[in-house]
Amino acid sequence: MKAVTRRLRILQVAPSATGGGGEQMALLLHRAFRRLGHRSMLAVGRMAGPVEEDVFPIPGRWTVAPAARVVRRLFDRVLRLTGGRGSTRLFPLFEALAFPRVAWDLWRGYEDYTAPGSHRLLRLAPEPPDIVLLHNLHARWNKREAFFDLRFLPQLSRTLPVILFPHDPWLLTGHCAHPIDCTRWRIGCGRCPDLNIYPAIRRDATAGNFRRKRKIISRSRLFLAAPSQWLLDMFEQAGIALVASRRICNGVDTARFSPGGRRAARAALGLDPDRRIIMVSGNRLKTNPWKGYGWLMETAERLGRAVKLPGADFLCVGDEGETQHFGGVRICFAGYVEDPSRMPAYYRAADIYLHPSRADTAPLSVLEAMACGLPVVATAVGGIPEQVEDGRSGFLAAPGDAETMAARIGQLLADRRRSGAMGKKARARAVKDFDFKRQSSEFIDWMTELAAPA
């Protein structure tokens, strides 16, 4: 990394400091910026996990609005009287009482931007920032309440340089974080084919949501950092007016995620030392509409029919469930890994990494697997082809092509020499192009340029 030439005061905004790749990235960058000698501050919509210096919550609307605080106390009193029963049914009623406009908009299918606490960001920050880095701005998974008011963007971006660092295309769509195969975002949305894709809406107001986002962005002065060329191209195709944009690839700690002893890792995790392991990772693998769990099952079934193996396991890290059997092939579940320091051991315990996503922007898990020396078999969606070199560091398959995924996994399991060679190439590529030090350095270089006095 380059030496610090100017101490920056950086304010990041993210839904949370823990969770999936995007949220995890905000915290990793926060720590990296501090190690590089800058004053990094991180504002989050939800506080979770251990307290870290200069990580602070954005006040929720229930704590900002005086009338809402009264309604919330009434709601808490009712819950005490009922012993907590009926909270799921009662909460929307009290929410409508406290925020009638929000309830009306949600009923009509409009996205929730009502987050008055986000207007206080610059006052809440421990120091006045020089620059703002915004991660995903939509509500968290299974969370009704917005944490950032998108309508604040024009004012914020005319006060300070603002870099958008989205981890999905939500800003370009009428409601969904990933349009998957739908191309209606190119023509203004409307007639949405799937209102249930996260963040879900009740009625088809996608055309109105689309217009509202475009109007807000057009009145803002924004810079864009995209973690993949695929997402950068989507913004260009959408005709979004930006001051400047560039690709800054996601990176991983290649010292922490590195090859290691497979048998030692399996012993530490309590895994069978003799079975072949195809690792799959991701929170809520079975229910997340983008993770392609149905394709995973079909791949396991085909592998079980086509290949005579002494025993192979698809090890799902990040979800729970009953073990499923397909001949000599099993789908097993390791559950959610609370301690992130254990994740490298899971990669080291595996023979192959499988990533059968329906949609993805620049998955950290693929890079972590590559850094640990695993050949990757993945669907060629989103930014994944920018990570995995087909035929060199792994194999790519068309979305839903379980036959090809099963065949490629079978080839790698049958040919340890080829598998090992691909794993070494994957490791070399991760170190060269996707090291976290490179990512954080590229951010600092650009932010130093943008925050320089005119």
Burial label, 313 (beta-carbon count in 10 A; 0-12, 13-18, 19+): buried
- The per-residue pLDDT for range 403-431, each reduced to its tens digit, is 999 999 999 999 999 999 999 999 999 99
Report how far residue 50's alpha carbon sits from residue 185's, in angstroms, rounded to the nearest whole number.
39
Least reliable range by pLDDT among 10-14, 91-95, 138-142: 138-142
Quick one: which H or E segment has residue 79?
helix 66-82
Residue 174 makes CB contacts below 8 A (sequence gap 6+) with: 184, 185, 188, 189, 190, 192, 205, 206, 207, 208, 209, 210
Q: How confident is the model at residue 309 (pLDDT cuts 50, 70, 90)?
A: low
Residue 193 makes CB contacts below 8 A (sequence gap 6+) with: 182, 184
Angle at 18 between CA 29 and CA 277, to 5 degrees: 100
- In the three-class reduction of DSSP (H, G, I as helix; E, B as strand; rest coil), residue 53 is classed as coil
End-to-end Cα separation, the chain, in angstroms: 26
Judge: domain 262-434, CATH 3.40.50.700: no
Report how far residue 397's alpha carbon sits from residue 404's, in angstroms, rounded to the nearest whole number.
6
- The per-residue pLDDT for range 138-163, each reduced to its tens digit, is 976 445 678 999 999 999 999 999 99
Report how far residue 77's alpha carbon sits from residue 69's, in angstroms, rounded to the nearest whole number.
12
β pairing state of 376-379 and 394-397: parallel
With beta carbons less than 8 A apart as the criterion, state whether 241 and 257 touch: no
Quick one: which H or E segment has residue 83?
none
Residue that wins the pLDDT comparison between 85 and 26: 26
Q: How confident is the model at residue 95 (pLDDT cuts 50, 70, 90)?
A: confident
Mark residue 19 as left, alpha or beta (left: phi above 0; alpha: psi -120 to 50; beta: remaining). Answer: left
Quick one: which H or E segment has residue 312?
strand 312-317
What pTM was estimated for this model as a whole?
A: 0.93
- Residue 42 tokens, joined: 């991180």
Tell me what pLDDT residue 207 has: 98
β pairing state of 39-46 and 55-57: parallel
How much of the chain, in percent, has pLDDT values that exceed 90?
77
- Arithmetic mean of pLDDT, 359-388: 97
Residue that wins the pLDDT comparison between 4 and 220: 220
- The CATH classification number of 9-60+115-251+437-450 equals 3.40.50.2000
Q: How confident is the model at residue 83 (pLDDT cuts 50, 70, 90)?
A: confident
What are all long-range contacts of 450-453, with beta carbons under 8 Å and residues at least 24 apart?
Answer: 450/131, 450/161, 450/163, 450/223, 451/6, 451/8, 451/130, 451/131, 451/161, 452/6
How much of the chain, in percent, has pLDDT values that exceed 70?
95
Q: How confident is the model at residue 3 (pLDDT cuts 50, 70, 90)?
A: very low
Quick one: which H or E segment has residue 86?
none
Tell me what pLDDT residue 382 has: 96
Tell me what pLDDT residue 143 has: 57
Tell me what pLDDT residue 338 has: 83
Quick one: which H or E segment has residue 129?
none
Question: What's phi and psi for 415, nearest 5 deg?
Answer: -125, 90
Burial label, 423 (beta-carbon count in 10 A; 0-12, 13-18, 19+): buried
Question: What's phi and psi for 32, nearest 5 deg?
Answer: -65, -45
- The per-residue pLDDT for range 284-302, each reduced to its tens digit, is 899 888 899 999 999 999 9
Q: How far is CA 93 from CA 62, 64, 89, 162, 430, in A?
A: 14, 19, 8, 37, 50
- The per-residue pLDDT for range 205-253, each reduced to its tens digit, is 999 999 999 999 999 999 999 999 999 999 999 999 999 999 999 999 9
Tell me what pLDDT residue 311 has: 86
- The per-residue pLDDT for range 180-206, each reduced to its tens digit, is 989 999 999 999 999 999 899 999 999
- For the chain, residues classed under CATH 3.40.50.2000 are 9-60+115-251+437-450, 262-434
